[in-house]
Every structure is written in C-alpha cells, then in structure tokens.
Structure 1
Amino acid sequence: MIDSIFTAMSGLEGHQKGLKVISNNVANMNTAGFKASVVDFADVFTGAGSERRREATGSGVDVSRTRLDLRDGDRQDTGRDLDVALEGRGFFVLQDEEGRLRYSRAGGFEFNDDGRLVGRLHGLKVMGRDGAGRLEPIELTGLRGNPPKATRRVEFKGSLYSTDDAHTIDALTIYDSTGAAHTLKLELTKKAATGTGSNVVTWGVKVLEGINELGSGEFSFIGSIASPFGSSIKLLLPLSNTAPAEVEFVLGPDVRGDASSTTSTLALAQQDGYAPGDISALAFNEKGQLTVTYSNGQSATGSTLALAEFASDEQVQAVGDGLLEARLGIAPTLREAGADLKVRSKTLELSNVNLTQEFSTLILMQRGYQASSQVLTTANEMLQQLFELKGRR
C-alpha cells in the first residue's frame, strides 16, 4: 500500500506537469513563432534480473521528457517591411550578447539605433552570411545612403516632324558629379533639306542653362529614320557652379521624322544621373537578401539571412522568448533560402498551438489527475484500516 501511495503521487505530479505544459501552450497561442510542447509519459519499472522481472511491478509514471512540436504555424500578412516568415524546415539564426547562437521562427525584425538588425521583442542580433558563408550580423554599414551619379547620357522619345520649323524642350533636368540638379533647355531648329532628293533633314540643337548657351550640335534624319551619324550629340557642358561635364544627347530607337503632323513631340525619355538618396524602404526578398530602396529611385542589396536546419526535432530545446538552442554538441546546417525553404516578406508565422488538440489533452490530464487522486485516497483509507486492525489486537 505504501508503494501505491508513491505510485499515485507520481501520477499526480505527472498530470500536474502535463497541465502546466498545456497552460503554457494555450497562453502562447498568439505568440508569433511559438512552438508548442508535448509531454511524453513513460512508465517506471523496478526490479532487475530475469527471475525478478516477472514479479516486479510498475512504480508510477515518468514525465521528465518534454519535446517540442516544430510543425509550421499559420502565416499572417502584417504589411511591415521587415517582418519575414519561413516556409519549410529551418530557423532564423540570432546571437545574444554573450555570443551564443539562438534559433527562432519568429521573424519580427527591426533596425536599432546602431543600424543593426535585431529581433523586435528580445533585441538579439539577426545573423546573415557573408560572401564566404561566414556568419555576421546584418547591418546597414555602407547602405545608409546612395551616392550621386553624374548624368552622362540623355535619351529622347517622340518625333521631330519635317513639316515643323522649330521645337523646344523645356525643364530638362540633369545632375552633376555632386548630385546637384541643373535645368536645361534644348532649342531645335530645322535646317534646309539636303542630299539626293532632298531626303536628309537636319535639326540644329542648342543647349542652354538659363540664358547661357552651353553647346550646340545637330540631329539628322534620312527620310523618317534618324541618320546613323546624326542620332547623337556629345557635348562638354560648362554647367554652373561645377566642373564641365561631358553629356551625350541621343535620339531613342523609336524617334522618327515623319511628315504626318506639324507639331513635334520630341521629349525626354530618360537620363542616367541622379541625386544623393536616403533610405526610403527596407525589406527582404524571396532569397532572404536585404533590399534597400532610396529616395532617388535607386536600390541596393545587403546581407542575406542565415538559416539553420536541424536533422531532427530532438536536437533543439526551448530557452524562452520564442528562442531555441541546440542541444549540447549539436551543430545545425547553415544555409540560405531555396526551393525547399522560402522566405515570405511582410509576413509572420503564428503559433502552431492547436486549441482543439490542447483542450482534448486537457480533459485527459484532468481525468488522469482525478484517477490518481482517487487511488491515493483509497490507498490511504486501506492503510488506516490496517492500523485500526493492528490496534485491536
């Protein structure tokens, strides 16, 4: 009967631990990236040797083993640029202040004041991989701004009609080497047709900044097609307040010199310069690369998210804050996103807690606790009766 009491006590403690695990799972049902835990019940058997083993009885239940359920949770769109979720088997890699690596499926990240990518809740550094595959913190070093680029090529679209006499392109903006903008005006004047059959039409071009003429040249057409030798003008422009800049003005491939209208439509198609740019957006692409968009329309890529993959669920254990650590002596495989492990931007993985399953297990734990309690009560009553019988002798 004494053994029965201790066996029943192990049942009470085991189901109490099971209840604690369930309550923790349910409490974290809205914790991003949370992985539910499952208690494994095992019987405790006493006795050794083949002869005694046939007579030995169980000694209760062992619930010392708790494992993680690492199945994927549902994903939810958040609209936040630095929220990322994984689709497939793997974890984000983070590093704490002591240099220890931690792993998580919670991809709610942000850049701190030092320009370092960290977990939004715990502040741990998010790790990426350099060109040699080594782990390094993801930072904005070298990406905080985009340097200017001087305009070297200006391309036009539209048409210069042969029945028109003059055309002006106003407010054409180009940039010098410091990123300063310069507003130019192009004045085009048709010259007399020359060549066999008078099919060559030439347009004189003047480039002005304000009232200052910076340079001039000619565009020419053979019929309606730009002449191979007259489709571009390369000029050294003495722009104001800066060093002279060499700029090529080019007729785009679709520019024509048709006579079907009296109004020319030649206009700027594109130019390759731009001013300095500040960061306007940060996000991760499907390869896990940090992409930076700047206010000047340019973009750049930074580090790539490092991802960890373990051979089995038993190789990791929870340490709190939605973080996991590798069990002693186990190292994961470090990799990048691929066909089997995808990065979803502006998305978070939710908890994988299944409330229906948790409530079903809760009922079983309650019944097990009640049954163990009843066994303990019965064993206690039998023991009291035994003492009463002994006292009557």
Structure 2
Amino acid sequence: MIGSIYIGMTGLQGYSQGLRVIANNTANINTPGYKGSSLQFADMFYSNSNSGGGTMQVGYGLNTAGTVLNFEQGELRQTGNDLDLALDGQGLFTVQDSNGNLHYTRAGQFTFNTDGVLVSRVDQSKVMGQDASGAIGEISIAGLSTVEGKATSTVKFAGNISSSLTNPNEPVVVNSVKVIDALGVEHMLTVKLTDEAATTPGGWKVQLFEGIAEIGTAEHIIFQSGSPDPANSTATFTYQPLGLDAFSVALDFSKDVTSYPSGNLSNIAFKSQDGYGPGALTGVSFDSMGTLIMSYANGQTVKGARLSLGRFDSLDAVVASGNNHFDATNSLSWHTGLAGEGGFGNVRSGMVELSNVDLSQEFSDLVIMQRGYQASSQVISTANDMLQELFQMKKN
C-alpha cells in the first residue's frame, strides 16, 4: 500500500507538470510566433518477481519524458506596419542578443533603433542579415537617410519627324527637353533637327541649345525606310551647366521615333530622361526574398542586405528560451540561408505570425489532466484508508 501511495504521487506530479504546460500554452495564445508544446508521458521502471509459477511485473508509476514543441505555422495576420515580418515556410529569423549570442525567432516584430540598426521590439536584439558576399551581420540604415542625385545621361524622344518638309532647311524644333544636373537642378534645353537627306539619305543633323547658346552639333542620326538605323540613332553631347562639372548627355531616338512623310507636321517630343536629384528616405520595407528596400522622395529605391534565416532538420535540435526565442542544441542539424531558397520560406511584409496554440485542443487536454490528477488522488486516498484500516486491526 505504501507503494500505491508512491505511485499515486508520481501521477500527481506528472499531471501537475502537464497542467503547467497547458497553462503556459493557454497564457501565450496571443504571443506572436509562439509555438505550443506538449508533455510526453511514460511509465516508470518495473520489478519482476515469481509468483505461483509465473512472473509478475509491478510498475512504479508515471514518468514524464520532457516536452515536444509543435512547429506548425500559425495564422499570418495583417498589421499594416512594413517592419512587421512573417515567414511563410520553415525558416526562422536570426537575432543576436547584447552578449553576442545568436537566437532564432518566428516573431518578426522589428524596428530600427536610434542608431539605425534593425532590432526586435521585444528585447532590442539585433536582427541578422547577409550582404552580397554572404557575410552575416546587423542590418543598418545608418548613413542612408539621403541618396545622392544623378545627372541625366540619356534623354528619350517619341513621335514622327516628317521626311517631306516643304522647306528642308527649316529645322524641326523640340522644346522643353529636360535634363537634370547632379545637384538635382532642372535645365530646359532645345533640340533642332535639320533635314540632310540631300547629302545623307534619311539623315538629320542634331543640334542642342540652352536658350540661344548652342551646346553642340552632333553627327547625323539616320532613318531607313522611316525607322531609326540602330547604328546611327543616338546623338551625344557634353553639357556643362554654369558653375558645375560637365557631363555627357545622349539624345536617344532609337525607339518610338519615326521619320515618315507628313508634310510640315512633325510631332516629335521629349519623352523621358534618367536623371534625378538628391532625395530623403521616405520608407523602409522588405520584399518576399527578405531584401531590405529603401524608398526615397526622388522616386528611387535602393536595395540593402537580405535577412539571414535559420532552419532545423529535427525538433531535437531546438529548444524554447523565452522572449519569443529558440536556441539550437545541435548545430549539425541547423542550416543558414535566405528567403526563397532551400525551404526557408518567403517573407511577408506587414504581417505577423500568431501563436499556433489550438485552444479547443488545450481545453480537451485540460480535462484529461484533471481526470488523471483526480484518479491519482483517489489512489492515494484509497491506499491511505486501507492503511488506516490495517492500523485499526492491529490495535484490536
């Protein structure tokens, strides 16, 4: 009977641990990236004895064999914050704590701190990324709050240049041709095209002006059967704004420009140019491949480092360590990689992964734990009553 009390006590201890696991799962039902766990039960050792010519095995109660994490993906919920990230796949974000230790997490609630470093909003641990060479380090936007301007290098046109002008000596004029210098200042230039078909079939002389000052005269651009000759469809000039360094500007007539007969009507016009001025940082986000995308007020985007992800082969290689973190217990079962590759999954910006705890399952398990605890308690009570009865018999 003493043995029965001991066995009942192992049941109470085991089911108490089971209740604690359920309580922890339930308490973290709203914790982003939380992975539920379940307690594993096993029977204890046995003793063998011979009784009546047979072998009798007597067990010694209930044992707990540790917990097992459930790494099923939780629901991905939209937040509207571009720095809230979720992983649609098996990967985990890699973070580094203040002591330099690496951890892994599915809770992608990130922000940039005052130093411009991407950190977790939970504990300020640094989020790890990989640069173009594959080196792993922090992700930072320090020094990237502005982007320099770029002087125009190519100007494109669209429309038709009439090849049947009444007065071929009268140039076709294209006004409001915009170019931008390296400081972002716009300059409006004028292009004049003069028919030289008399000396060069399909040829047009190209001149560039700023106001009345001629910047230069280029070689011919040539059309064949009304379409640009690929080898002679660009006119290049060196333009030097007042007080600034000179830069090369190519006037590109290779696409969307024709030269068909249309009398004195030519509708050739400025289409686009590739220069831009300096711009301030207006937004930061990550694409599905985990690449940092920085957007600037001048319409430019710049790509940065990619998020460094971890992935494990076996649940035996990972343990929960708190603060939404997981640690590797067997480095041989862990892999480092990037989103969109090798099963690491894709990054979903503006979303967080919710806890994967199934509340209905937890409540079902709770009833089972309660019944087991009650049964173990009843065993102890019954064994105690039997001992009391035995002691009473001895007194009599």
Using the alignment, how far apart are the partners of 1:50 and 1:89 within structure 2?
50
Q: Which residue of 1 aligns with 2:116?
A: 115
Q: Which residue of 2 aligns with 1:345?
A: 348
For residue 141 of structure 1, report the CA deviation from its aligned partner. 4.7
Q: Which residue of 2 aligns with 1:156?
A: 157
Gaps of 5+ in 1: none
Using the alignment, how far apart are the partners of 1:111 and 1:145 within structure 2?
16
Q: CA RMSD in A?
A: 3.1
Q: 1:262 to 1:8 in 2, by over 3 A?
A: farther
Q: Which residue of 1 aligns with 2:58?
A: 57
Q: 1:78 to 1:172 in 2, by over 3 A?
A: farther
Q: Which residue of 1 aligns with 2:128?
A: 127
> Structure 1: which amino acid aligns with 2:275?
G
For residue 219 of structure 1, report the CA deviation from its aligned partner. 5.6
> Structure 1: which amino acid aligns with 2:370?
Q
Using the alignment, how far apart are the partners of 1:328 and 1:234 within structure 2?
62
Does residue 26 (structure 1) correspond to residue 35 (structure 2)? The answer is: no
- Identify which range, 167-176 or 67-76, moves more after superposition: 167-176
SS across alignment from 2:81: coil
Conserved in 1, the CA contact under 8 Å of 2:128 and 2:138?
A: yes
Q: How does 1:286-325 map to 2 (within 5 A)?
A: 286-325=288-327
> Structure 1: which amino acid aligns with 2:34?
F
Does residue 388 (structure 1) correspond to residue 392 (structure 2)? The answer is: yes
Residue 334 of structure 1: which of 328, 333, 336 is its match? 336
Q: Which residue of 2 aligns with 1:370?
A: 374
> Structure 2: which amino acid aligns with 1:147?
E
For residue 351 of structure 1, report the CA deviation from its aligned partner. 1.6
Q: How does 1:157-306 map to 2 (within 5 A)?
A: 157-162=158-163, 168-176=173-181, 178-186=182-190, 188=192, 194-195=198-199, 200=202, 202=204, 205-208=207-210, 213-216=214-217, 224-226=226-228, 231-260=233-262, 263-306=265-308
SS across alignment from 2:9: helix
Q: 1:352 to 1:163 in 2, by over 3 A?
A: same
Q: 1:180 to 1:240 in 2, by over 3 A?
A: farther
Q: Which residue of 2 aligns with 1:97?
A: 98
- Identify which range, 93-102 or 133-142, moves more after superposition: 133-142
Using the alignment, how far apart are the partners of 1:5 and 1:253 within structure 2?
92
SS across alignment from 2:19: helix
Q: 1:229 to 1:122 in 2, by over 3 A?
A: closer
Conserved in 1, the CA contact under 8 Å of 2:286 and 2:292?
A: yes
Conserved in 1, the CA contact under 8 Å of 2:202 and 2:224?
A: yes
Q: Which residue of 1 aligns with 2:43?
A: 43
Q: 1:258 to 1:36 in 2, by over 3 A?
A: same
Conserved in 1, the CA contact under 8 Å of 2:207 and 2:214?
A: no
Percent of residue pairs bearing the same amino acid type: 37
> Structure 2: which amino acid aligns with 1:194?
A
Q: 1:163 to 1:100 in 2, by over 3 A?
A: same
What whole-Å deviation, never above 9, does each CA across 1:310-348 have from its counterpart, x for those lacking one?
Answer: 221021111112111122776622222315222232233
Q: TM-score scaled by structure 1?
A: 0.85
For residue 65 of structure 1, report the CA deviation from its aligned partner. 0.9
> Structure 2: which amino acid aligns with 1:340?
G
Using the alignment, how far apart are the partners of 1:30 and 1:300 within structure 2?
35
For residue 106 of structure 1, report the CA deviation from its aligned partner. 1.7
Conserved in 2, the CA contact under 8 Å of 1:191 and 1:204?
A: no
For residue 41 of structure 1, report the CA deviation from its aligned partner. 0.9
SS across alignment from 2:73: coil
Conserved in 1, the CA contact under 8 Å of 2:313 and 2:333?
A: no
For residue 11 of structure 1, report the CA deviation from its aligned partner. 1.4
Aligned residues: 387
Q: Which residue of 2 aligns with 1:17?
A: 17
Gaps of 5+ in 2: none
For residue 233 of structure 1, report the CA deviation from its aligned partner. 3.1
